[in-house]
A and B are shown apart, each in its own frame.
Chain A
Amino acid sequence: MEKKDRGIILSIKDVNKSFPGVKALDNVSIEIERGIVHGIVGENGAGKSTLMKILSGVYTKDSGTVVFDGEEIEHTTPIESLNRGLSIIYQEFNLVNTMSVGENIFLGRFSEMHGMRGTHAEARKLLDSIGCSIDTHTLVGELSAAEKQMVEITKALSFRSKLIIMDEPSSSLTSDELKQLFSIIGDLRAQGVSIIYISHKLDEIFELCDMVTVMRDGHVIDTRPVGELTRADMITKMVGRSIEHEYPERPHCVGETLMEVRSINTHKLHDISFELKKGEILGFVGLVGAGRTEIVRAICGADKVKGHEVLIGGVPVHIKKPAHAKKLGIGLLPEDRKLQGLVLRFSVQSNIAMASLDKMRKFGFIDASQERGIAERQIANLGIKTPSPQTTVLSLSGGNQQKCVVGRWLEINPQILIMDEPTRGIDVGAKYEIYVLMKQIVENGGSIIMISSELPEVLNMSNRVLTICEGRITGEFNPEEVSAQTIMDSAIG
């Protein structure tokens, strides 16, 4: 409290925001100092995104004050915020793929730059200032996720931003790219730019941030220097109870062979054969694009693949489409929950009941009370936070959305559940709950194939790991006996 106002770039005081049925922000107050990296952590639905959207002008606050750079801001729009010096870099980038890097950085401001020549020259200067060597004439569509992020940062700098908010900036970066991002953030901090860094990954918060604010259920739980908190403290504050471990104890329920897959061959996959045992969690490790998703899609009949064999309990089965897989008790939790998992405009209830409705029909009719029962059971069972079963699933947080898809499959009592990136974009508390669910599934006699880009979770949850590289299975490991490095080497090929 001793810090004087000149040190504060952004002051948020007693801000409230309600949506029908939900109090998204409840008397939220945060102060961001100049020239520091301020982390904001919290579970899904904690109110982080709502707060950012109020700052950028997408939402209007119900009450409270926001003071940015000494000026009180009542109503704002995204472009006004930018001009004031407040930029937000969202997880989904706001870039035009069909335009060049330089054009994207100065989009709509070409005349201020005195034409394209000036635009590219100025863009070059800015890119150099963060040590980025991308050619300004390259089309943004050809860039990697990391490079796009550089362009976003450069764009923020071009507005002479005093505060840059980064929402989950690391979700699509490799570890090398992450290091580069961190060094850029360090440079910006040295130049006096403040950064708000929103992330689920606590390691990053500890490595990067000076201050951290923990939010939960629309409240600010705590704001303090990062050094004063331990990892366990932070998790406790985030989830409101202490979590001893990030992972539950590894289940050991492996039994007889349940499914055999023999020689899947496509233009992308080469001679994929493996076995899955009853009660086993089998992890697939590999880089994005190695063919992990294609293998499970082939098994489920989601992609048309011929010539391979699948045996369940020693009996050959023919799975031509996902409906066949479902009949055999195989469920697929797809990697992109918004595009492939959910019907976003439908209710939580319709989404949960989606896979099991056909089982409970009588003469083609759906029993409405049974459908409601399914939804209520899974909402209670999985602790899905929703105002009602009729709420559109679109308005739920990522973790709760994912639970809806999991609940959908639990309702058919799957003997094999294939989970493709089951914890992508959801936070520590929700992740832990998903892990516990996985454990319960195998303890109840189910089997799981788990695909994940997060090596620690595969290694901590799986009984056995297959490494996949360029469409081939390159190794089989017991993660309890082999080091992570060995497994990664095998996955990289």
Chain B
Amino acid sequence: MTKRFDLKKFLLNYLVLVAIVLLVIITIIVEPKFLSGDNLTNIMRQFGPLSFVSLGMTFVIIGGFIDLSVGGLISLVAVVTVSLIDPLGQLNALIVGVLFGAFLGFLNSMVLISCGALTQAEALFITYGMSAVYSAVALIYTGGSTQHMSWLTTPQTIFTAIGSGTVGIFSVSFIIFLVCLLLLWIFHNKTYSGRSISYTGGNKVAAELSGIPIKRSVILIYTICGLMSAVGSIVLFSRITTAAPIIGKNYETNAILSVVVGGTTLKGGKGSVLRTVLGVLLITLMSNCMNLLGVSAYMQVVLKGAILVLAIWLDNRKEQ
């Protein structure tokens, strides 16, 4: 009796892990190429940008909100950062790019707070609008044309390292990711600000009445999300060495998908960046496997949608 109960609980909690293992096994059987060195490097690269954005998104969702602006934000940060490499030098451009992303996230939170919009639904629409603004600014800024890093005169050693450098068997971006993961995990689990975010997502009214700084939490989650999205943006354009003004398209949905599939509840309050890592891994592997197996791009979208619905269903089962 108790044993069966535990198994069920385990499955509900760690279904992502089970899914990842199953997916890998099936793909290896059907398509042994999966294990080739090229493909594994490929997976690690695909994992890159999405994982950063998803880490940021995790905080927004734990805080009980949502951020649809990251798509536009990634595009804008990418084109602005690339355009700054020549005038500022690569290190300064990198720093300004990251800070610019954090600022845009901060801007999101200020718009929300000044609108008095403290529900997830309001955040959904406001950040959707912000995404449109950021995308449009990116298009206006570049005149609609893609920025190629090969046009630049300044050397781009740092960006090349971020985009395609390796240390041993690990890519540089993966190491940066591990550092971010560790810092954000400590921030969430060990600091007062991190805990305040959880309380805010768990019950805003109770949190406010207990003197938890909920506005500060809102500012923090969006700033972190903007910052992490900017890092993701830089990893992304460094790898492909071009920055199109629509480069960030679909990142918001994939990031939310990864967070929710990882097991962070859309209801807010409960979740973890570690879970999100599993979510990103599953989504990345899924894309990779489906590509290897020759699943059409349209069908892949359908499957992703189905996975999201399944994840939300599971989350509600867990509550009972």
Contact = CB atoms under 8 A, between A and B. Distances in A.
A365 B190 CA distance: 6
Given A357-B192, A366-B192, A345 B211 contact: no
A342 interface: yes
Interface in A320-362: 321-323, 325-327, 332, 334, 339-346, 350, 354-355, 357-358, 361
A302 interface: yes
A364 B191 contact: yes
Interface string B158-198: 00000000000000000000000000000000111101001
B211 A326 contact: yes
B269 interface: yes
Interface string B199-211: 1001101111111
A408 interface: yes
B212 interface: yes
Given A343-B269, A354-B199, A361 B210 contact: no
Contacts of A342: 203, 206
B270 interface: yes
A354 B269 contact: no
Given A346-B269, A357-B195, A340 B190 contact: no
Interface residues of A, number: 29
Nearest to A297: B209
Interface in B188-244: 190-193, 195, 198-199, 202-203, 205-213
A345 B269 CA distance: 8
A162 to B, nearest CB: 31
Contact of B202 (A339, A343, A361): A343
A361 B192 contact: yes
A354 B190 contact: no
Interface in B225-273: 267, 269-270
Interface residues of B, number: 22
Contacts of A354: 199, 206-207, 210, 212
B193 A322 contact: no
Contacts of B267: 345
Interface string A360-389: 010011101000000000000000000000
B192 A358 contact: yes
A169 B193 CA distance: 43
Contacts of A345: 202, 267, 269-270, 319
A334 B213 CA distance: 18
Interface string A45-85: 00000000000000000000000000000000000000000
Contacts of A368: 190
Given A361-B192, A366-B190, A302 B202 contact: no
B210 A322 contact: yes
Nearest to B190: A365
A322 B211 contact: yes
Given A364-B191, A364-B192, A323 B213 contact: yes
Interface string B277-307: 0000000000000000000000000000000
Contacts of B207: 343, 354
B195 A322 contact: no
A406 B42 CA distance: 55
A332 B192 contact: no
A345 B270 CA distance: 8
A368 B203 CA distance: 22
Contact of B211 (A346, A355, A364): A355
A364 B212 CA distance: 14
Contacts of B208: 302, 321-322
Nearest to A325: B211
A355 B192 CA distance: 11
A342 B207 CA distance: 8
B250 to A, nearest CB: 31
Contacts of B209: 300, 302, 322, 332, 334, 340-341
A325 B211 CA distance: 8
Nearest to B267: A345
B8 to A, nearest CB: 13
A326 B208 CA distance: 11
A342 B203 CA distance: 7
Contact of B206 (A326, A327, A341, A358): A341
Contacts of B198: 346, 350
B210 A365 contact: no
Interface of A: 300, 302, 321-323, 325-327, 332, 334, 339-346, 350, 354-355, 357-358, 361, 364-366, 368, 408
Given A345-B202, A355-B210, 12 more contacts: A323-B213, A339-B205, A339-B206, A341-B206, A341-B209, A342-B206, A343-B207, A344-B203, A345-B267, A350-B198, A354-B207, A366-B195
18 contacts: A300-B209, A321-B208, A322-B211, A323-B213, A326-B210, A327-B211, A340-B206, A341-B209, A343-B202, A343-B269, A344-B203, A346-B199, A346-B269, A355-B211, A357-B195, A364-B191, A366-B190, A366-B191
Closest 8 CB pairs of A and B: A326-B211, A343-B202, A323-B211, A343-B203, A361-B192, A355-B210, A354-B210, A364-B191
